[in-house]
């Protein structure tokens, strides 16, 4: 059984499981799936200042904190107890392209040359981690939700704003991966 959990699952198994979260949440408690709203709930709980944006009954959304805690606990378990013993498979053309940017550690899930404490203090790392984090946070707030909220929950509810947001998320991802990221990686 442990071997089944250690290896990646195919999309046709993982996708429907993720997709079934939406009707389960709606049927079990009329709850909406999304992760980014948790930051607002945490700020409303921890900093009860006079900011109108944080003046609401955040306690009704406390279930979402448990959901995120489960994601964090699951990631920890998967990253420590259920580690796949096989190296991460990376397309050879991507390995060659990454080597051109000075990234040679292809056994990790993310390149250590970009995602490590030491890389944070380089121009490339600061742009990727700090700048990217800011843009993701700004975009999430501007779009009224994150990719999970819009692309999983919103599309399944047939919401037009979620379709627009998902198309824009994808377009932004393609632009970043193909036009902007190569420029940053050459820094």
CB 6 within 8 A of CB 85: yes
State the pLDDT confidence band at 107, using cuts at 50, 70 and 90: low
pLDDT in tens, 48-78: 677 888 888 888 888 888 888 998 999 899 8
Whole-model pTM?
A: 0.72
Residue 42 in tokens: 């945490």
CB atoms within 10 A of CB 44: 19
When pLDDT is cut at 50, 70 and 90, the band that residue 108 belongs to is low
First to last CA, the chain: 45
Confidence label for 109 from pLDDT (cuts 50, 70 and 90):
low
């Amino acid at each position: 059984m442990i071997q089944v959990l250690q290896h990646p699952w195919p999309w046709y198994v993982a996708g429907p499981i993720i997709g079934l979260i939406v009707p389960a949440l709606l049927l079990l408690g009329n709850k909406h799936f999304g992760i980014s709203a948790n930051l607002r709930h945490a700020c409303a709980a921890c900093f009860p200042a006079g900011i109108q944006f944080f003046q609401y009954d955040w306690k009704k959304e406390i279930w979402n904190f448990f959901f995120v805690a489960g994601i964090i606990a699951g990631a920890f378990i998967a990253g420590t107890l259920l580690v796949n013993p096989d190296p991460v498979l990376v397309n050879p053309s991507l390995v060659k392209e990454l080597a051109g940017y000075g990234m040679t550690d292809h056994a990790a899930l993310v390149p250590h040359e970009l995602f490590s404490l030491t890389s944070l203090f380089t121009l490339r790392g600061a742009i990727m981690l700090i700048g990217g984090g800011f843009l993701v946070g700004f975009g999430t707030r501007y779009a009224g939700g994150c990719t999970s909220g819009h692309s999983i929950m919103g599309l399944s509810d047939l919401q037009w704003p979620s379709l627009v947001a998902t198309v824009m998320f994808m377009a932004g991802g393609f632009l970043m991966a193909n036009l902007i990221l190569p420029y940053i990686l050459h820094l």
